[in-house]
Structure 1
């Protein structure tokens, strides 16, 4: 049995309808790291999570959830929604991370920023992109990544429009097929974007099929958080990114 505490504390901000980020963090948790969660509002659970809804989440007041997380003195805070800052743009994402760090005193990772960090770590500049988002958010995501010098040479989208719970209810097999459809001969990696999509469970399987790295929002957040916490070990079973030294 691995130790559940003693080395670092990760505080995680989770959109209030998200059902998969917490289980994923349990799967990815490094030895000796404790996990502490606070929920985020700022959007309507009964509306489609389109660009307007996710823009609202990104702009939501974080003072209360941050105050609650500060009660455990986290070493790193993870902002656990990718689309909330993708819809605002790269500058907003960076400023949000700075603001959370300033307000909390903790090192800070955003899901969108972690994807960028992971791609730079792997030196991947041409990618396949997959998500459960509506097409307008995918447009914003591709533009966001383009600002960092990353080009999406193919993208894969779900058929139909998913509500807040539909994204989390996609099965691992459905996520695997979504990722496989995003691959392209020129892609150096495949990105599966969304903290509520069950991507972590199929990373190794998809990498074995494609022969290239697969990066997911939650895996990328843990990778960067480990670096910021000074945890230098590798984690096996969840893709090439976490099998590389984190320091």
Structure 2
């Protein structure tokens, strides 16, 4: 049995995690601990507070008690908003506090793109345009070429959590770009676990979604690989490189 820990901001699409655990069909247990997010807003000041060290540290003891072998801050916006170096410091602090390897969803996207062996991506974000642009800048710092970025102007995670298959499919289709080798949907408040395979079939290319890559990143940190076709190309490929960081 491998236990993996996730600090999840508030309550929006956390039911993706038991769904993913079921789809993994292995001896993997996903322990989700909810953090206090403060103000629910896709605004830079609110996101910096949401991802502050004190708010994250408050959930670490529960992760430790769950026996987790790795920990991921299951939030994209409240990690990339700190910038490349700041996001690194955020996960270093988490690792020190928890005493286990740690990462965040932002780094999960960077590592997953590398795993797929693609260079050019398109972003379909639920966020306002200015916040979506910060994610594009984060990926560029990771050496990823972003050929298109589309924001949706949604302010709260609570609203994003109400989106279903139709809205997620429309977001992915709108985000697609002829030069993009993969589509990225970067919001853990967005329900996507049930749709990844259909999205890839519809678009004809890999689709990386926030909760999907978050779980994959935790498995990577724990040196576990699970073949789970229902979770898309990322969970069916043999490793191209050993990603660190």
Superposition pairs of residues 33-182 of structure 1, within 5 angstroms: 33-45=28-40, 48-61=41-54, 62-158=56-152, 160-182=153-175
**8 Å contact from structure 2 (residues 12, 157) kept in 1:** no
Per-residue displacement from partner, 1:159-189 (whole Å, max 9, x unpaired)? Answer: x534231111111210111011111111010
**8 Å contact from structure 2 (residues 77, 131) kept in 1:** yes
Q: 2:75 is paired with a residue of what secondary structure? A: coil
Q: 2:194 is paired with a residue of what secondary structure? A: helix
Deviates more, 1:62-71 or 1:86-95: 62-71
Aligned length: 236
Where structure 2 has 5 or more consecutive residues not aligned to the other structure, the ranges are: none
Per-residue displacement from partner, 1:128-174 (whole Å, max 9, x unpaired)? Answer: 1011111111111111111112122122232x534231111111210
Q: 1:200 is paired with a residue of what secondary structure? A: coil
TM superposition outliers: structure 1 runs of 4+ over 4 Å:
none
For residues 180 and 57 of structure 2, what CA distance do their matches in structure 1 show? 40
Are residues 1:25 and 2:17 paired? Answer: yes
**8 Å contact from structure 2 (residues 53, 93) kept in 1:** no
For residues 233 and 166 of structure 1, what CA distance do their matches in structure 2 show? 32
**8 Å contact from structure 2 (residues 43, 155) kept in 1:** no
Superposition pairs of residues 158-237 of structure 1, within 5 angstroms: 158=152, 160-237=153-230
For residues 178 and 135 of structure 2, what CA distance do their matches in structure 1 show? 21
For residues 200 and 116 of structure 2, what CA distance do their matches in structure 1 show? 14
Per-residue displacement from partner, 1:32-57 (whole Å, max 9, x unpaired)? Answer: 12222222124214xx3212111111
Aligned in 2, Cα 1:161/1:104: closer, same or farther, shift over 3 Å? closer
Q: 1:237 is paired with a residue of what secondary structure? A: helix
1:4 matched residue in structure 2 = none
TM-score by length of structure 1 reads 0.89
Q: 2:89 is paired with a residue of what secondary structure? A: helix
Q: 1:44 is paired with a residue of what secondary structure? A: coil
Q: 1:26 is paired with a residue of what secondary structure? A: helix
TM-score by length of structure 2 reads 0.90
Per-residue displacement from partner, 1:10-63 (whole Å, max 9, x unpaired)? Answer: 1110112x321x311112223112222222124214xx3212111111224122
Higher relative contact order (CA 8 A, sep 6+): 2
Q: Considering only aligned residues, what root-mean-square deviation do their CA atoms show, in Å? A: 1.7
For residues 42 and 170 of structure 2, what CA distance do their matches in structure 1 show? 22
